[in-house]
């Protein structure tokens, strides 16, 4: 009995040490289950019911998805989401890179410009939306200035035209996101070896040529990341369109987005939670598809570069 006692005492601390990491992870895991996994699983179940805000509902199979196909507002929201992705992603991939190149070098006033570019990121989306609403209103600063200069005879309907409202919301999204993605590019630019730029400069490459053959290839992974982030955010847009349209989703509701439709359907004491859950599942599937598509395109674009590097290594 006495011979076994030391062995038991040696195993006890080892078992306690193995359990220690799980004890530290337990609060985070509990929060993830309570606020992420359980709500997602509940949304999947509700998507196949006719649940209301105050009623659990009954199982209806795929009725919500059939209704979705027949709902013209769903197709409008899908169209607007696609247009938003096409209008927002390219500027948010290219413009922050140009800004990062401008403020990369340390010099007098560069820190001020970095702060100014990043300020919209930390501003509240609602405040930003209200500021742009005042600017783009028919009696706002933009229309007033253009009329004073004689550029237009009447106010431009930035907030009352179907397509101009959507374009204005895209402008707000791009303006607010420039500083955030600029910081990501700045972190990547600092890791590009200066020797590559010096070698290209010795070979006679100018600034544009060095950007194309040195900087841009080094940015491919970061550009793919920003493409994914901006595309997912664009498809889930809500605040910009909601604020600029004044909760009307544009003239006749034709600028509605998927998130706005989900909110509209599920609002009130008689909100159709089942249909809203089905819409949420479709939104999740679309954002996942966008993520996989961008990553697939990026891997296909980088494959020739890897093959060329391997060929040069064999030679």
Q: Give just the sign of the alpha carbon dihedral 293, 96, 255, 46.
A: positive
Distance of CA 272 to the CA centre of its chain: 27
> Given this model, what pLDDT does residue 311 score?
46
Burial readout 180-190 (b: 16 or more C-beta within 10 A, e: otherwise): bbbebbbebbe
What would the pLDDT profile of 136-154 be if each residue is shown by its tens digit?
998 889 999 998 888 888 8
Q: Could you give the CA distance from residue 43 to residue 184 in angstroms, rounded to a whole number?
A: 34
Contact between 189 and 214 (Cβ < 8 Å):
no
What would the pLDDT profile of 94-138 be if each residue is shown by its tens digit?
999 989 888 887 767 778 888 888 888 898 889 999 999 999 998
Q: Hey, what long-range contacts does 68-73 have (CB within 8 A, 24 or more apart)?
A: 68/275, 68/278, 68/279, 68/282, 73/253, 73/256, 73/261
Longest CA–CA separation in the chain, Å: 101
Token representation of residue 296 = 């697939």
Report, in angstroms and rounded to the nearest whole number, the Rg of the chain calculated over CA atoms: 26
Say if 41 falls within a structural domain.
Answer: no
Say if 14 falls within a structural domain.
Answer: no
> Given this model, what pLDDT does residue 79 score?
93
Nearest one of 168, 176, 166 to 137, comparing CA atoms: 168
Q: Supply the angle between the helices 162-189 and 125-136 in degrees, to the nearest 10.
A: 130
> Given this model, what pLDDT does residue 94 score?
92
Domain of 139, CATH number, reads: 1.10.3720.10
> Given this model, what pLDDT does residue 87 score?
94
Is the pLDDT at 4 greater than 70, yes or no? no
Give the residue, 301 or 276, on which the prediction is more confident: 276
Say if 28 falls within a structural domain.
Answer: no
Q: Quick check: helix, strand or coil at residue 177? A: helix
Is the pLDDT at 21 greater than 70, yes or no? yes
What would the pLDDT profile of 27-53 be if each residue is shown by its tens digit?
888 888 888 888 888 889 999 999 898
> Given this model, what pLDDT does residue 300 score?
61
Counting the structural domains of the chain, the total is 1
Say if 181 falls within a structural domain.
Answer: yes
Q: Where are the beta strands (DSSP E) in 6-129?
A: none
> Given this model, what pLDDT does residue 16 score?
56
What would the pLDDT profile of 195-219 be if each residue is shown by its tens digit?
776 677 777 777 777 777 777 787 8
Q: Could you give the CA distance from residue 264 to residue 273 in angstroms, rounded to a whole number?
A: 10
> Given this model, what pLDDT does residue 84 score?
93
Contact between 310 and 102 (Cβ < 8 Å):
no
Share of the chain above pLDDT 90, in %: 32
Token representation of residue 27 = 């609060």
Total residues found in the chain within this entry: 315
Average pLDDT, the chain: 83
What would the pLDDT profile of 225-275 be if each residue is shown by its tens digit?
888 889 888 988 999 999 998 888 888 888 999 999 999 998 888 889 999
- Only one residue has tokens 């078992």, namely 15
Q: What global pTM score does this model have?
A: 0.80
Contacts of residue 244, defined as CB under 8 A and 6 or more positions apart, other chains included, come to 129, 132, 133, 136, 159, 165, 168, 169, 172
Say if 128 falls within a structural domain.
Answer: yes
Which domain range does residue 126 map to?
63-298
């Amino acid at each position: 009995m006495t011979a076994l006692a030391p062995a038991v005492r040696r195993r006890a601390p080892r078992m306690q040490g193995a359990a220690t990491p799980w004890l530290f992870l337990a609060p985070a895991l509990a929060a993830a289950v309570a606020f992420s996994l359980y709500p997602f699983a509940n949304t999947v179940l509700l998507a196949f019911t006719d649940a209301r805000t105050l009623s659990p509902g009954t199982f209806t199979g795929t009725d919500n998805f059939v209704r979705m196909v027949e709902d013209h507002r769903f197709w409008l929201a899908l169209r607007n989401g696609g247009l938003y992705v096409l209008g927002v992603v390219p500027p948010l991939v290219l413009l922050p890179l140009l800004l990062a190149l401008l403020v990369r070098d340390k010099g007098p006033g560069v820190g001020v410009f970095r702060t100014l570019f990043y300020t919209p990121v930390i501003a509240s989306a609602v405040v930003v939306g209200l500021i742009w609403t005042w600017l783009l209103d028919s009696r706002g600063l933009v229309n007033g200035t253009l009329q004073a200069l004689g550029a237009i005879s009447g106010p431009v309907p930035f907030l009352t035209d179907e397509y101009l409202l959507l374009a204005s919301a895209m402008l707000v999204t791009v303006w607010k996101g420039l500083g955030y993605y600029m910081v990501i590019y700045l972190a990547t630019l600092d890791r590009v070896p200066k020797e590559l730029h010096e070698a290209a400069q010795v070979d006679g490459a100018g600034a544009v040529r060095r950007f194309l053959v040195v900087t841009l290839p080094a940015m491919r992974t970061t550009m793919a990341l920003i493409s994914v982030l901006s595309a997912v955010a664009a498809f889930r847009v809500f605040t910009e369109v909601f604020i600029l349209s004044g909760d009307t989703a544009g003239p006749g509701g034709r600028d509605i987005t998927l998130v706005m439709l989900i909110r509209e359907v599920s609002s009130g004491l008689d909100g159709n939670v089942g249909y809203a859950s089905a819409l949420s599942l479709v939104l999740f599937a679309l954002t996942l598809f966008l993520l996989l598509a961008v990553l697939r395109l990026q891997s296909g674009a980088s494959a020739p570069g890897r093959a060329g590097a391997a060929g040069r290594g064999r030679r």
